[in-house]
Amino acid sequence: MRKGLLLTAAASSLALVGSLTACGSESNGDGTGSDTKKPKIGVILPDSKSSARWETADRKYLGEAFKAAGVDYDIQNAQGDKQQFQTIADQMITSGVNVLVIVNLDSGTGKAVLDKAKSQGVATIDYDRLTLGGSAQYYVSFDNTAVGKLQGEGLSKCLSDMKATKPIVATLNGSPTDNNATLFAEGYNGVLTPKYKSGEYVKGPDQSVPDWDNAQAGTIFEQMLTSQPKIGGVLAANDGLGNAVIAVLRKERRNGQVPVTGQDATVQGLQNILAGDQCMTVYKAVKKEADATARLAISLAKGEKGTTNATVEDPEGKRKVPSVLETPVAIYKDNVKDVVDDGFVTKEELCTGKYAALCAEAGIK
| Residues 6+ positions from 59 with CB-CB distance below 8 Å | 26, 45, 75, 77
The pLDDT tens digits of the residues spanning 231-241 come to 999 999 999 99
Mean pLDDT of 37-44: 88
DSSP 8-state code for residue 79: T
* Res 13 pLDDT > 60: no
CB 235 within 8 A of CB 188: yes
The pLDDT tens digits of the residues spanning 285-306 come to 999 999 999 999 999 999 998 8
Mean pLDDT of 324-349: 96
* Res 27 pLDDT > 80: no
Q: Tell me, what's the pLDDT at 31? A: 39
Mean pLDDT of 81-109: 97
What are the Cα distances from residue 165, in Å, to 105, 199, 201, 230?
A: 40, 10, 8, 12
- Higher local confidence (pLDDT), 306 or 59: 59
Mean pLDDT of 94-116: 97
* Res 23 pLDDT > 70: no
Beta-bridge mates of residue 322: 311
The pLDDT tens digits of the residues spanning 133-175 come to 999 999 999 999 999 999 999 999 999 999 999 999 999 999 9
The alpha carbon dihedral of 264, 158, 356, 213 has a sign of positive
Alpha-carbon gap, residue 2 to 300, rounded angstroms: 12
Residues 234-254: b if buried by 16+ CB within 10 A, e if exposed: bbbbbbbbbbbbbbbbeeeeb
* Number of helices and strands in the chain (H, E): 14, 13
- Higher local confidence (pLDDT), 357 or 49: 357
> Does this model's pTM top 0.85?
no
* Res 14 pLDDT > 50: no
* Res 362 pLDDT > 70: yes
CB 219 within 8 A of CB 184: no
* Res 82 pLDDT > 60: yes
Alpha-carbon gap, residue 91 to 104, rounded angstroms: 16
Alpha-carbon gap, residue 177 to 210, rounded angstroms: 8
* Res 10 pLDDT > 90: no
CB 321 within 8 A of CB 130: yes
Q: Tell me, what's the pLDDT at 49? A: 87
The pLDDT tens digits of the residues spanning 246-275 come to 999 999 999 999 999 999 999 999 999 999
Q: Tell me, what's the pLDDT at 52? A: 84
Q: Tell me, what's the pLDDT at 5? A: 37
* Res 199 pLDDT > 90: yes
Q: Tell me, what's the pLDDT at 12? A: 36
Q: Tell me, what's the pLDDT at 16? A: 32
The pLDDT tens digits of the residues spanning 279-289 come to 999 999 999 99
Mean pLDDT of 24-36: 46
| Residues 6+ positions from 245 with CB-CB distance below 8 Å | 172, 217, 218, 221, 234, 236, 260
The alpha carbon dihedral of 74, 144, 196, 243 has a sign of negative
Q: Tell me, what's the pLDDT at 158? A: 98
Q: What is the mean pLDDT of the chain?
A: 91
φ and ψ at 170, to 5 degrees? Answer: -95, 150
